[in-house]
Structure 1
Amino acid sequence: MDSPHLTATLEREARPVRRPVRRTRLWDLLLALPAAWIVVFFVSSMVIVVLLSFGRTQQDGQPVFGHRLTNYDALWDEVYLRLFLRSLTYAVATTLVCALIAYPVAYVIALYGGRFKNLLVAAIVVPFFASYLIRMYAWSAMLGDDGVVNSVIRKAHLGGGVSFLNTPYAVVGGLVYGYVVYMILPVYAALERMDRSLVEAGKDLYHSPLRTFWSVTLPATRAGLFGGMLLVFLPALGDFVSAQLLGGPDTYMIGNLIQQQFLEGQNWPLGSAMTVAMMIGLTVLMVGYLRATTTRRREA
């Protein structure tokens, strides 16, 4: 056998043999249970919401199904559009602040955490196991007119106190505290997967640390940063707890309006139409992000 044929034969034999994964009943069962859970409790509820969005409310306050577009026409009201733009502004501000906080934290832990990496990550994640509602109540108690912060200001004779609540800053601060961990973890994972030799190569090219970060580190972790921004933006846009406990009527978001339609206003069809419109917008953002991520991976 000549040399080229011998080389080709050795290469074929050296290739790992891919054996097909054998599906078992256990795997089918593990896949069927969560799929059934999603269909029963999520898909079915969303179908009801979509159908109800075309309905109307009777004089006794009971919602009935229908086929009208009146509820969707009402969404173009100036009040609703203003609330949506406010929610969008708060969500964008929350995402940017979370990025400014999360990236340095994740960077320090991933690159300089050493053997304490897991401990530091746990110290960040464990406090968020507490209920989001309880944490917002804690913020309300801290920032209230008679709260902890104002008590310290008065005792230190720094003034009569500061009105923190019922301001956009309090609402955005609550949103940042509630969702910043969703930004830290994806960025930390991206930094952990990053090839450190790229950073060393950037330094060898006489780049300054800042230029190396912008030209090497940030592009290498861009997927994690964008993923974290999406994980923060989506729930922040529909949040209503922070605005309700830390804000007031002038800082209410679209989530507060939807909650009022279902609870206080007893207008479930209009609340359903608002929910469907928001879900469509968030789905478009999610699909756009996934397509951009897929395209980037193919180009790489």
Structure 2
Amino acid sequence: MRKRVSLWSWLLLPGTVWMSIFFITSLLLVTALSFGTTDDLGTPHFGNSLSNWAEVFAPVYRTVILRSLGYAFITAVLCLLIAYPVAYAIARHGGRWKNALIAAIVVPFFANYLVRMYGWAVVLSDEGPLLGLARKLGAPDDWRILHTGFGVIAGLVYGFVVFMILPLYAAMERMDSAVIEAGRDLYGGPLRTFLFVTVPATRQGALAGLVLVFLPAMGDFVSAQFLGGPDQIMIGNLIQSKFFDGQNWPLGSALTMLLMIVLLIAMAGYLRRARKDEQEAWQ
């Protein structure tokens, strides 16, 4: 038994060392730098100033943070609405084609994220096929999607919807078909059965999907950069600009820490909900 424990300890050692050096150390450096200052040349220096933390709550930054929260929340909800019928159709009616259908959804997302956003920008552009079709159907000529909030959200949904489909599909695969049959006997129609049986039974998958979509969407900067305009920038764009364009690393570090705090709160809420659901399942 001791040999087995020792073996597992040695197997955990490389990952622990890697995380300690490249994650925890960098996190501590960013935390310390968030209290630092910059000189006239833009060189960062460690310190104990709270000016960066006070500045992140200035109206201009607060607007961007709230916009990022709103975009990430809307993206998560839209992904949930899109993923539920897709996952349900594959899990319950996919038959022997289930694996092929899941592969057809997942494989395109192996392409580089930047490449996919470039392609999405072409589709949503003023001369793209989507607006061309919309104008033929009667849409006004000045209507546009690119460089708007709708375009950014469309890019986020396209980029992260697969993270919602997979956990929902896994949750529906674990469902006993007899539960759905019993629900049909109790509630009658398929819609009521879906709402009162399938949705509660797959709540864990939905919560996991919401977290998996919300967390990266909150910190994403590629969609806002390629599909949005100056009025659609997100906190990820702010952080990027402070580190690379503005040469204000302490303020960028403070924004990074604020983003991590928001994401940790979301993650803690999910873990608490999941633990409560697990306890209720055992009672």
Question: TM-score of the superposition, structure 1-length normalised?
Answer: 0.88
1:90 equivalenced with 2:109 (yes/no)? no
Instruction: Note the alpha carbon deviations across 1:239-278, whole angstroms, 9 max, x for none.
Output: 1110010000011111111111111110000010011011
State the number of aligned residues: 281
Q: Alignment partner for residue 124 of structure 1, among 93, 97, 105?
A: 105
The secondary structure found in structure 1 opposite 2:4 is coil
Give the distance between the partners of 1:141 and 1:272, measured in 2 at CA.
34
Aligned residue identity for 2:179: L
Whether the 8 Å CA contact 1:234–1:282 is kept in 2: the answer is: yes
Q: Which residue of 2 aligns with 1:297?
A: 278
1:273 equivalenced with 2:257 (yes/no)? no
- Map residues 51-200 of structure 1 onto 2, 5 A cutoff: 51-150=32-131, 160=141, 162-200=143-181
Deviation at 1:27, TM superposition (A): 3.4
Aligned residue identity for 2:89: V
Give the distance between the partners of 2:107 and 2:20, measured in 1 at CA.
31
Greater shift in the superposed pair: 236-245 or 148-157: 148-157
Instruction: Note the alpha carbon deviations across 1:204-227, whole angstroms, 9 max, x for none.
Output: 235221221122111100000011
- Cα 1:284–1:101 change in 2 (3 A) is same
Give the distance between the partners of 1:123 and 1:193, measured in 2 at CA.
21
Unpaired runs of 5+ residues, structure 1, are 1-19
Whether the 8 Å CA contact 1:240–1:254 is kept in 2: the answer is: yes
Whether the 8 Å CA contact 2:42–2:247 is kept in 1: the answer is: yes
Give the distance between the partners of 1:253 and 1:32, measured in 2 at CA.
37
Aligned residue identity for 1:198: V
Q: Which residue of 1 aligns with 2:232?
A: 251
Q: Alignment partner for residue 223 of structure 1, among 204, 216, 234?
A: 204
Give the distance between the partners of 1:64 and 1:77, measured in 2 at CA.
22
Whether the 8 Å CA contact 1:139–1:174 is kept in 2: the answer is: yes
Deviation at 1:143, TM superposition (A): 2.0
1:47 equivalenced with 2:20 (yes/no)? no
1:240 equivalenced with 2:214 (yes/no)? no
Deviation at 1:32, TM superposition (A): 1.6
Instruction: Note the alpha carbon deviations across 1:96-133, whole angstroms, 9 max, x for none.
Output: 11001011000000000000000000000000001111
Deviation at 1:158, TM superposition (A): 7.7
Aligned residue identity for 2:272: R
Q: Alignment partner for residue 191 of structure 2, among 210, 220, 223?
A: 210
Q: Which residue of 2 aligns with 1:30?
A: 11
The secondary structure found in structure 1 opposite 2:246 is coil
Whether the 8 Å CA contact 2:37–2:47 is kept in 1: the answer is: yes
Q: Alignment partner for residue 282 of structure 1, among 236, 258, 263?
A: 263
Whether the 8 Å CA contact 1:238–1:255 is kept in 2: the answer is: yes
**Larger Rg: 1 or 2?**
1
Instruction: Note the alpha carbon deviations across 1:150-189, whole angstroms, 9 max, x for none.
Output: 5667899987574221111100000000000000000000
Give the distance between the partners of 1:194 and 1:233, measured in 2 at CA.
25
Give the distance between the partners of 1:91 and 1:133, measured in 2 at CA.
19
The CA RMSD measured in Å over matched residues stands at 2.1
